[in-house]
Structure 1
Amino acid sequence: MCHTFHPVLLYIYCMCGVVAMVTWLPRRVRRKLRGGSDWVSTLYYTLFYNYFTSLYVALEVMLEPLFWFVEKFAKYLGPVFVTLVVVMTTSVVTIFYVCLLPHVYTTSLPWTIFHLIFGHWLLVNIVFHYLMGVFSQPGTPPPQNVPEIVSVCKKCISPKPPRTHHCTICGKCILKMDHHCPWLNNCVGHNNHRYFFLFCVYMWMGTIYVSWVGHDLFRQHFYGDEPTAFPPLFYPLNAIHDAIYRSNDPAKPMSIIINPNPPPKENYIEHYYHIAVLYEFILCSGVTLALGLLMLWHARLISKGETSIEVHINNTQRKKYKKKNLVYRNPYDYGLKKNWMVFLGFHSCRTFICKVLLPSTHPPEGDGLIWSRASYKFKQDKGLQLL
């Protein structure tokens, strides 16, 4: 049981209890003090005590204004984020065609063919999975005839199947809900979880590819022909090193990435070419780092058969079972290999090529209403083993 005394009531309670223990006071005075202590205790339990109070409940109450803000404004920020993704992706692709691809074409014909095939394969997958993630419905439970019910949604007042959660932004329950993604302006659930994850994978591969192709041009435009103290990929460290080195040597004026003075009219094309190369590499490098961390987090969850919501639920269950000297296992963890096969929807190498490496609209396994549960067997020497 979790409870906390209010400071003033705690002080009064302690003082009454201590004074009531003094033996030389009259019995009537001690009885009244003991009665006052009991009254303060009762008052505390009436006003402040809650059996379900915990640190997580307190944090949830403190974050309630943030939840309110997300509920009220996230649906309006969604179209802004989608527009931002479209604009940035279009700019990166345009600069690649205008600036980077002609530079690649001057190397050799085989490399040019490779870049055309590989680059367009990535582009098609990125566009396809993003559009499917945005416009595909994540899946909602039917109002009636739900085959398996684990609870009732307090907001929808409707039955909830396993792994179903209510999205306050969309205002409805989502089958196997992972999270509400503002970059998709849509919930990530049973029907579009695969599209979301593959979009992250292909976009991450695309940013690495563009950074690799534009690395030489970026190095020329950012550092010139001078040697760098760090590898060119760590351009912020080289910029700081260059600024300190040149500031200590008056004979070498500091270089500026973008010249604040307007260039002559005949150099406008070269000037904007310079800006485009820098913008392309810096943007793709930053997205590679941020998107890579997000992709690794979701890959870890998929490997364990969890969603972003279920990982917190399972951690709470593990702590409860641990207090009872028991081990909690995720009932939807079928093992590493099967988790990925169920998530991506392939069963062989051929289906992997058709359904993962190429754009595919195949539906996920199951209807999202009924989920098979993994079974375990306890062995003395190995503990719980997945059957």
Structure 2
Amino acid sequence: MFALKRGCFRLMRRLEDSISPFFDCFRLCIFAIKSVTFNSFSSKNAVLDAAMEPIFWTVDKVAKYLGPMFVVMVTGLTTSVVLIYYFYVLPYYIEDQIGLVVPFLLVVGHWLLVNIIFNYYKGVRTSPGCPPVNNSEIGAATICKRCIGPKPARTHHCSVCNKCVLKMDHHCPWLNNCVGHFNHRYFIQFCVFMLMGTIFVSISVWPLFKQEFFDIEKTYANIVHYLSPIKGIASIVKGRGVAENEPERNAINQIVHEKESTFHKLIVYEFFLTFSVTIALGALTLWHILLISRGETSIERYINNDERSRLKKVGVIYKNPYSFGFVENWRIFLGLSGGRTFWRHVLLPSSHIPIGDGIVWRIHQAHIRINNGFKHV
């Protein structure tokens, strides 16, 4: 038995000695590949981006070709809401003649409508801005890896438009355009005025919607109407006072017909559309308001978070160099300089250009904190 164990041990040692060079060679090859492909700038995010590249490519292509359809959709839905409001909601208030309600609705409604149309048109038609081809006009800049051109600060490459965009925030399929330096204000004002408009319409339509949608008699008659073809429905609804004879059945059908009239459908459509848009657009608008208040774009938000996390590991506090405080950030964003006012150039349609050319940016004197002292960036 001892001799057998000893023989097995020797056999395993010989097998290990014969295989060991192959493992050493394999480890050496892996080390060589890592040394050749080593990149000090690589990270988990870079690997994730590379893995998700096919998905990003698909989304970019879909956004590019569906963009015009989204613009038509926004225009069509907005037009339908306005027409229903004119032909069905306003007559309801005019017939009631409730004090100054009608003049208020007319003034506020048209003010919101004009601002929505103006800012949406400008957001769609205004170019966000691209860096000039000549590098001498830019000064210090990096090189874009996609279009191999000068890339100023806060400029990013849009894979949908296939060009670099000054102070790019994101590519908006609803505008079929990039949101950048020269049309960022139009985008935000469109979102704000559209949000105010949907809230305004939802509140105005609520009395009619409540009257049409929450009427117990109409709702019960509607249920009976759709269940009546089912065998045995008479016994189900008999206890609720629904007659089985033809005259009363016709009366029920008449009520159902009134409920499903054009007026009922349009009022329900108007409220549900505006209310759902209020919720979705409200969340988007609040997010962008927060970003502007911090002096950053959607893309810069992720870049700043990564930079903040990286510097935190070495005891450094990162500060956004383009943030000048809540009030100043909004003044710069809205372009309120040279005598421009909030009342004239924000609350009313205005085509004034933003502050700066989108190439050279004023930088706040940021500080970074190391241990117990401060050091200027």
TM-score bracket for the superposition, by shorter chain length: 0.7 to 0.9
* 1:76 aligned onto 2:65: yes
Out of 119, 144, 153, the position equivalent to 2:144 is 153
The answer as to whether partners of 1:126 and 1:199 remain within 8 angstroms in 2 is: yes
**Following TM superposition, by how much is the alpha carbon of 1:345 offset from its aligned partner in structure 2, in angstroms?**
1.6
Matched, 1:316 2:302: no
Unaligned runs of 5+ in 1: 1-22, 229-248, 255-262
Are the equivalent residues in 2 in contact too, given 1:148–1:369 (CA < 8 A)?
Answer: no
**1:65 partnered with 2:54:** yes
Alignment-derived partner of residue 138 in structure 1:
128
Give 1:59 shift: 2.2
Q: How far has the Cα of 1:104 moved from its partner?
A: 1.7
Give the Cα separation in 1 of the matches to 2:358 and 2:190: 21
State whether structure 2 residue 315 is matched by structure 1 residue 325.
yes
Of residues 180, 200, 204 in structure 1, which corresponds to 2:171? 180
The 5-angstrom pairing of residues 212-361 of structure 1 reads 212-224=203-215, 251-252=239-240, 271-346=261-336, 351-361=341-351
1:235-281 Cα distance to aligned partner (Å, 9 max, x none): xxxxxxxxxxxxxx954599xxxxxxxx88xx689700100000000
Q: How many Å separate the matches in 1 of 2:374 and 2:279?
A: 37
Larger CA deviation: 130-139 vs 321-330: 321-330
Quote how far apart the aligned CAs of 1:43 are: 2.3
Partner of 1:232: none
Is this contact kept in 2: 1:217–1:277, CA < 8 A? yes
Residue aligned with 1:341, SS: helix
Q: Distance in 1 between matches of 2:64 and 2:12?
A: 69
Q: Deviations over 1:69-101 (max 9, x none)?
A: 133332210000000000000000000001111
Q: Give, in angstroms, the shift of residue 328 of structure 1.
A: 1.2
CA change 1:38–1:327 in 2 (3 A) is farther
1: CA distance between counterparts of 2:335 and 2:38?
A: 44
Measure how far apart 1:147 and its partner are.
3.0
| 1:218 maps to amino acid | F
Map 1:191-206; keep pairs closer than 5 Å. Answer: 191-206=182-197
> 1:327 is paired with a residue of what secondary structure?
coil
Superposition deviation, residue 351 in structure 1:
0.3
| Contact 2:318-2:367 at 8 Å conserved across structures | no
User: 2 CA distance for matches of 1:27 and 1:276?
Assistant: 85
Could you tell me how far apart the structure 1 residues matched to 2:78 and 2:302 are?
33
Partner residue of 2:224? none
CA distance in 1, matches of 2:370, 2:157: 41
Of 93, 97, 107, the match for 1:107: 97
Offset at 1:155?
Answer: 2.3
Quick one: which amino acid aligns to residue 167 of structure 1? C
Structure 2 counterpart of 1:178, one-letter code: D
Residue 298 of structure 2 aligns to a residue whose secondary structure is: coil
- CA shift for structure 1 position 381: 12
CA contact (8 A) 2:158 2:164 kept: yes
On the 8 A contact 1:333/1:339 being kept in 2, the answer is yes
Out of 185, 198, 206, the residue aligned to residue 207 of structure 1 is 198
Q: Could you tell me how far 1:164 is from its partner in structure 2?
A: 0.6
C-alpha contact (below 8 Å) 1:181/1:187 kept by paired residues: yes
Secondary structure of the 1:141 match is coil
Give the letter for the 1:104 counterpart.
Y
CA RMSD between the two structures: 3.2
TM-score (norm 1): 0.77
TM-score by length of 2: 0.79
SS at 1:169 equivalent: coil
Q: Contact 2:168–2:299 at 8 Å: present in 1 too? A: yes
Distance 1:30 1:276, change over 3 A: closer
* Alpha carbons of structure 1 residues 381 and 111: separation in structure 2 relative to 1, 3 Å: farther
- Is the CA contact 1:78–1:183 (under 8 Å) kept in the aligned structure 2? yes
* Residues 360 and 385 of structure 1: CA distance in aligned 2, closer, same or farther (over 3 Å): farther
What is the rounded CA distance, in whole Å, between the counterparts of 2:368 and 2:49 in structure 1?
37
Distance 1:26 1:276, change over 3 A: closer
The whole-number CA distance in structure 1 between the counterparts of 2:263 and 2:122 is: 34
1:376 and 1:384 in contact (8 A); partners too: no
Measured in 1, the distance between the counterparts of 2:331 and 2:317 equals 26
1:41-84: CA deviation from partner (whole Å, max 9, x where unpaired): 22223456754454323322332222221333322100000000
**Cα offsets for 1:148-188 (capped at 9, x unmatched):** 33311122221111101111111211100001100000010
Identity score, percent: 47
Q: Which deviates further from its counterpart, 327-336 or 341-350?
A: 341-350
- The residue aligned with 1:243 is none
